[in-house]
């Protein structure tokens, strides 16, 4: 009966999406701050958070340039604005298609009339708030899908296919190999080839102690904590060579009067981090990015100091395959690891070509009023 209850509880918890998990952590953090402030009598400072576009994430010490002043870039003019026309950035959903044809560009002329550019062709005018952008909706929805999202039936399938019970203990049976026993499986991800897995497990020791571990198919086992009041989430590298747990120990936060992040990776890193982390994720190349109010870290190394808070939704950073160079959109500046920064770039994308990472963005020339596509290898 105990095992059934634990499995049901685990399934309920693990159907929460990563976004919901982050919101849960934020609520727990806010609740802890509230209790700490009652004890200490100190009011928390208000912080400025970012949007996904990189706004308000701290002032950069880099000198802002325009895109045409940047070295080693390629540029292509993709659309010419007429005299008196301007871009409505709020309504635009810009996409660049084959042949550098621009779509989703909303233009307002000097009379206030609105037009939309689709495949390089201007259409309209249209009434305000009635610009037809439905043809872009599917593309936008596809782009907004979280690569770390859990399918609604994923954990149910995991339990049915891999979790077995023996003497009131559970274990994972994966390709004929047993894992270490555990009380509760909190999370598990299996690679598409079904040759690797990474799991977050816990063992009940007492009311005050619960050992939490990261494990994998090779028998690797990393102790995260022994606190029964630790809550958090697991993120997995797309290569399945690493995973990270990050969370908050509610009990210690109350006792110490400050909020810290309990952080551990399958590769053996275990840390207590302060200020607490706002977000943790792996990029498509398997590089680990962690962010708090102090700095941005790449594979455990600080790469950019922050002067103000960064929200948990911020992921506007692009890293080359080797992890030796990066570009980040911070405070509306596109900042390169080389120290260069531009102030007019938007609609940033990255592609891998011939082993190189190419950063593409758009800028509007103040001199010619042309919309120009830029590319730079990092």
The confidence score (pLDDT) of residue 167 equals 80
Q: How far is residue 24's CA from residue 30's CA, in Å, rounded to a whole number? A: 10
- Model pTM score: 0.75
Partners of 351 in the β-ladder: 358
62 found inside a domain? no
By CB atoms closer than 10 A (0-12, 13-18, 19+), residue 177 is exposed
Buried/exposed code over 233-251 (b: 16+ C-beta within 10 A; e: otherwise)? bbbbbeebebbbbbbbbbe
The confidence score (pLDDT) of residue 248 equals 93
* Chain-centroid distance, C-alpha 230: 22
The confidence score (pLDDT) of residue 197 equals 97
Domain that holds residue 29: 1-42+150-237
* Chain-centroid distance, C-alpha 91: 24
Reported as a single tens digit per residue, the pLDDT across 276-335 is: 999 999 999 999 999 998 899 999 999 999 877 777 889 999 999 999 999 999 888 999
Q: How far is residue 119's CA from residue 62's CA, in Å, rounded to a whole number? A: 36
Partners of 184 in the β-ladder: 202
User: Are 202 and 212 spatial neighbours (Cβ–Cβ below 8 Å)?
Assistant: yes
Backbone angles phi, psi at 35, to 5 degrees: -70, -40
Provide the angle, in degrees to the nearest 10, between the axes of the packed helices 154-162 and 2-14: 140
Backbone angles phi, psi at 5, to 5 degrees: -60, -45
Q: Taking Cα atoms as reference points, which of 165, 176, 174, 175 lies closest to residue 199?
A: 174
Cα 167 to Cα 2, 11, 182: the distances in Å are 12, 21, 11
Number of domains the chain contains: 1
* Chain-centroid distance, C-alpha 159: 27
242 found inside a domain? no
User: Are 302 and 296 spatial neighbours (Cβ–Cβ below 8 Å)?
Assistant: yes
Half-sphere exposure of 332 (CA within 13 A, CB side): 6
By CB atoms closer than 10 A (0-12, 13-18, 19+), residue 29 is middle
Q: For residue 153, what are the contacts with CB-CB under 8 A and spacing of at least 6?
A: none
173 found inside a domain? yes
The confidence score (pLDDT) of residue 216 equals 98
193 found inside a domain? yes
198 found inside a domain? yes
User: Are 237 and 282 spatial neighbours (Cβ–Cβ below 8 Å)?
Assistant: yes
Relative to beta strand 243-249, strand 261-265 is antiparallel
Reported as a single tens digit per residue, the pLDDT across 180-224 is: 999 999 999 999 999 999 999 999 999 889 999 999 999 999 999
Cα 369 to Cα 101, 312, 331, 366: the distances in Å are 17, 35, 24, 5
Q: For residue 214, what are the contacts with CB-CB under 8 A and spacing of at least 6?
A: 198, 199, 200, 220, 221, 222, 224, 234, 243, 245, 264, 265, 266
Q: How far is residue 245's CA from residue 188's CA, in Å, rounded to a whole number? A: 12
343 found inside a domain? no
What are the residue ranges in the chain where pLDDT is below 50? Answer: 1-22, 24, 28, 31-62, 138-147
Angle at Cα 64 formed by Cα 58 and Cα 68, nearest 5°?
Answer: 140
Cα 222 to Cα 27, 184, 281: the distances in Å are 27, 16, 19
For the chain, how far is it from start to end, CA to CA, in angstroms?
56
341 found inside a domain? no
196 found inside a domain? yes
Q: How far is residue 334's CA from residue 317's CA, in Å, rounded to a whole number? A: 9
Partners of 364 in the β-ladder: 371
């Amino acid at each position: 009966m105990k095992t059934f209850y634990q499995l049901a509880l685990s399934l309920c918890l693990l159907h929460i999406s990563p976004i919901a998990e982050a919101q849960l952590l934020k609520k727990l953090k806010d609740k802890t701050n509230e209790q700490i402030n009652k004890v200490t009598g100190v009011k928390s400072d208000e912080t400025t958070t970012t949007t996904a576009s990189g706004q308000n994430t701290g002032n950069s010490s880099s000198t802002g340039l325009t895109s045409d002043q940047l070295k080693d870039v390629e540029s292509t003019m993709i659309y010419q604005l007429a005299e008196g026309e301007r871009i409505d950035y709020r309504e635009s959903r810009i996409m660049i298609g084959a042949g550098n044809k621009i779509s989703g560009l909303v233009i307002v002329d000097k009379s206030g009339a609105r037009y939309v550019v689709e495949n390089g062709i201007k259409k309209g005018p249209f009434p305000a708030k009635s610009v037809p952008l439905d043809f872009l909706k599917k593309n936008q929805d596809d782009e907004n899908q979280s690569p770390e999202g859990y399918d609604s039936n994923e954990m149910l399938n995991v339990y049915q296919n891999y979790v077995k019970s023996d003497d009131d203990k559970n274990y994972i049976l994966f390709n004929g190999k047993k894992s270490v026993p555990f009380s509760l499986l909190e999370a598990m991800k299996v690679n598409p080839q079904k040759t690797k897995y990474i799991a977050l497990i816990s063992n009940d020791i007492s009311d005050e102690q619960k050992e939490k571990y990261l494990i994998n198919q090779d028998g690797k086992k990393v102790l995260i904590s022994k606190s029964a009041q630790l809550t958090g989430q697991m993120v997995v590298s797309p290569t399945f060579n690493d995973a990270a747990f990050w969370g908050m120990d509610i009990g210690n936060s109350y006792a110490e009067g400050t909020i810290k992040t309990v952080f551990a990776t399958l590769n053996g890193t275990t840390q207590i981090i302060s200020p607490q982390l706002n977000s943790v994720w792996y990029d498509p190349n398997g590089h680990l990015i962690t962010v708090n109010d102090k700095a941005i870290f790449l594979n455990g190394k600080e790469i950019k100091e922050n002067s103000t808070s960064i929200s948990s939704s911020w992921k506007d950073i692009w890293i080359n395959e080797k992890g030796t160079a990066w570009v980040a959109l911070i405070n509306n500046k596109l900042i390169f690891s080389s120290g260069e920064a531009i102030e007019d770039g938007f609609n940033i994308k990255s592609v891998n070509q011939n082993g190189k990472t190419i950063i593409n963005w758009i800028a509007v020339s103040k001199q010619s009023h042309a919309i120009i596509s830029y590319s730079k290898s990092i």
